[in-house]
Chains A and B, each alone.
Chain A
Amino acid sequence: MKIRTRLVLWYFFASLVLLLIFSIGTYLGMRQLLLNSLDDELNQMRDDISSGFDSETNSFDILSHPFFVQTELSNYYLILYDNKNQQIFESKVVSLTDIELPISKADTNYTTTAKFKTDLSSKNSSVRYAKYRIAGSKLYSKGSVIGYVVIGQSFEKLYESMDNLLSVLLISIGIATLIILILSYFLTERSLKPIDRLITQARQISRDNLNERLDVVNPEDEIGKLTNVLNGLLIRLQDSFEKEQEFMADAAHELKTPLTVLRSHWEDELSNKDLPVNFKEKLVKDIEIITRLSKLINNLLLLSNSEYGVLKVDFENLDLSELVKDVVDNTTVLAELKNQTINLVELTPVFVEGDKAKLYQLFFNLLDNAINYTHEKGNINISVKKESHLALVEIKDNGVGIPEKDLPHIFRRFYRVHKDRSQTLGGNGLGLAIVKLITEIHSGEIQVESQVGKGTSFTVKIPVAI
């Protein structure tokens, strides 16, 4: 599960639990409050009744008071006794219910369930039950008992209020839940935003721009600390890349210096008249090997520099057809040695952003390859085309071809298709690897099609300059 989803759910459930505890508390508290106010009301009525006692007539004036005959009074359960325990009043409800006054509970408030014999308002005779709150109390006046009262009221109103409260609470919970869900989503989005930014930034850092660092917004917060840790990691990575690259440069230097010494020695000896010719012939071969080695070192350095993203390129706007023509002009001599024909089939001027020297090497390597792997009197067709936004250079020969199983590997370093022949042809197994590298430097791609015995066709595609 994503952290985003998890956080939303955590926020949501935590808030929901709090909301429920609050609601239950409110409900129970409200219930107690209403019950208390019900008792207060009953006590108040009882006090009203006792204050209406007239000691001279020894009767309750209040009975004649409109209050007692009002319809709402009929909802009250009320029995009034005089001091001789004679019942002097009972409300309508009394006759309909079976509430009994336990004498032991005089002067207390208690809850009882009353059974109605018939419905109060209708003629329906079905039995129904209702909870009543009853307050029983002795009535005093000037220190002596003047009577006894039982007064009660149905819980109906209280229940109604509680029901209202419940529905209000439930609706509130519903709305609050929705709000919490939305809020927690935005809150999570907000708190995860710096992480998203970090991810986007970190993703853009590759070996080509290892010197870049992630932005630290607030170095004190957790994201800031994480960013600092990542930046530290980048510094170490860059450091080790640079060391590696430095090592390669040093290695190349250390290898080339002795080669330089050797070569200058051998070449000088070529003019030494005291040395036999067959010995000098060997020296010539050695010089060739030395040159081969130093070229190999150059190519390895080129490939390793590209690996570490420190390859220096010198882009300019140039006409690819001019460049290819130049390569062909300089290479025709090689083809002539094998009586091969190089045909410039199509030469459409097309401009690209390119490193002249590297592109030269690219097409030279391809053409050189074509010449080497094509028989005497073979044909090599070259075309430079423009297809929408791409410059296409095709070099097609009718030479020996490349077996299908080798095709996926030919751009690998030191991979040799013709393992027996390559050495005599002077290749070092890096030519096509470099071709691919240079194509990639120019955001291009290279395709190869080949059939054994029929020939090979390389197509280089490079985006045209805008």
Chain B
Amino acid sequence: MRILIIEDEESLARNISDILVKEGYLTEIASDGEQGLQKGLNQDFNLLILDILLPKLNGYEVLRELRRNKIKTPVLILTIKNSVDDRVNGLDSGADDYLIKPFAIAELLARIRTLLRRNAEDKSSALGAGELVLDTTKREAFINNKSLNLTPKEYSILELLLYNKNRVLSRLSIAEYVWGDNFDLFNMTNFVDVHIKNIRKKLDELSDEKLIKTVRGIGFMIEELE
């Protein structure tokens, strides 16, 4: 899986790249719009991460040019602004998803995986861990073909944890993913614990695996040993 990161803030681009490499992706960085467009046109990528405010060509222009040249690679837009107009503008230009800065890494990875899974090649790799399997289209979780009967919020939490296997997720990141940024997330963090408790109860009914680990003082994670 090759991912092109078009981002002019060097340390952010590096950081995203490092994280993605650790997750097993191959990455390429372009530091301005022109460079990004050239790389996007001349090389094959599975995904593009595209900043909007870029030197030389802005993100919308790059995207439009790529789509005009029949490059159908999924594009995830990173944007500072969060007005309705920007989102509409981004999706109209042919973006597949957008993420507002500053974002949580967990969310970035979840979005990347969702986008990649939409592509045919990736559909084989089911989302799951141990005996747990997630049906991402029906948004349901199964153990040994038995449904866990999760609430939508519980499902979201489990999905995020599975998209970020072996990565510790803070309560804040989880709350952000589940409730969006319209909320006072600092209150929601307590509620994450309540939901995790409920998910664990449902998991325990069907399996002896202790999938979700609590990392003291930090958050939660699903570990999968290779």
Contacts and interface: CB of A to CB of B under 8 A. Distances in A.
Interface stretch (B131-139, B199-207, B215-223): B215-223
B182 A357 contact: yes
A260 B101 contact: yes
A360 B180 CA distance: 12
B218 A281 contact: yes
Contacts of B19: 264, 268
Contacts of A314: 84
A247 to B, nearest CB: 15
A165 interface: no
B185 interface: yes
A183 B11 CA distance: 79
Interface string A249-272: 100110011011111110110110
A264 B15 contact: yes
B173 interface: yes
Given A259-B102, A271-B168, A281-B218, A252 B80 contact: yes
B91 interface: no
Contact of A256 (B15, B80, B185, B221): B80
A284 B218 contact: yes
A277 B84 contact: no
A326 to B, nearest CB: 11
A277 B218 contact: yes
A289 to B, nearest CB: 10
A294 interface: yes
A408 B81 CA distance: 33
A361 interface: yes
Contacts of A372: 187
Interface in A403-443: 426-427
A265 B168 contact: no
A267 B170 contact: yes
Interface in B179-205: 179, 181-188, 190-191, 194
Interface stretch (A143-151, A330-338, A386-394): A330-338
Contact of A312 (B12, B18, B84): B84
A368 interface: yes
B209 interface: no
A361 B191 CA distance: 19
Contacts of B85: 312
A426 to B, nearest CB: 4
Nearest to B193: A337
A264 B104 CA distance: 7
A265 B9 CA distance: 13
Given A270-B219, A288-B186, A368-B187, A261 B105 contact: no
B188 A334 contact: yes
Given A271-B167, A288-B186, A334-B187, A257 B216 contact: no
Contacts of B167: 270-271
Contacts of A141: none
Interface string A107-139: 000000000000000000000000000000000
Contacts of A180: none
Contacts of A267: 104-106, 170, 173
A303 interface: no
Given A268-B19, A271-B167, A360 B194 contact: no
Given A271-B166, A288-B186, A280 B218 contact: yes
A292 B183 CA distance: 11
A336 B193 CA distance: 13
Contacts of A361: 182
A371 B188 CA distance: 12
A262 B9 CA distance: 12
Interface string B157-184: 0000000001111111100100101111
A15 interface: no
B216 A426 contact: no
A355 to B, nearest CB: 9
B53 interface: yes
B84 A263 contact: no
B188 A265 contact: no
Nearest to B83: A312
A364 interface: yes
A209 interface: no
A426 B105 contact: no
A86 interface: no
B172 A284 contact: yes
B218 A333 contact: no
B38 interface: no
Contact of A277 (B53, B81, B217): B217
Contact of A263 (B18, B102, B190, B217): B102
Contacts of A261: 9, 11-12, 15
B103 interface: yes
A277 B216 contact: yes
B16 interface: yes
B138 to A, nearest CB: 23
B172 A291 contact: yes
Given A264-B105, A426-B187, A253 B53 contact: yes
A206 interface: no
B119 interface: no
Contacts of A264: 12, 15-16, 19, 102-103, 105, 108
Interface in B111-139: none
Given A260-B101, A271-B167, A253 B172 contact: no
Interface in A219-267: 249, 252-253, 256-257, 259-265, 267
Interface string A51-92: 000000000000000000000000000000000000000000
B82 interface: yes
Interface of B: 9, 11-12, 15-16, 18-19, 53, 80-85, 101-106, 108, 166-173, 176, 179, 181-188, 190-191, 194, 215-219, 221
Given A291-B176, A295-B181, 7 more contacts: A256-B101, A257-B9, A267-B173, A270-B218, A333-B191, A371-B187, A426-B186
10 contacts: A257-B9, A268-B15, A270-B169, A271-B221, A291-B102, A334-B184, A336-B194, A337-B187, A337-B190, A357-B84
Minimum-distance CB pairs A-B, first 9: A426-B186, A260-B102, A281-B217, A260-B101, A267-B105, A263-B102, A270-B168, A333-B191, A261-B12
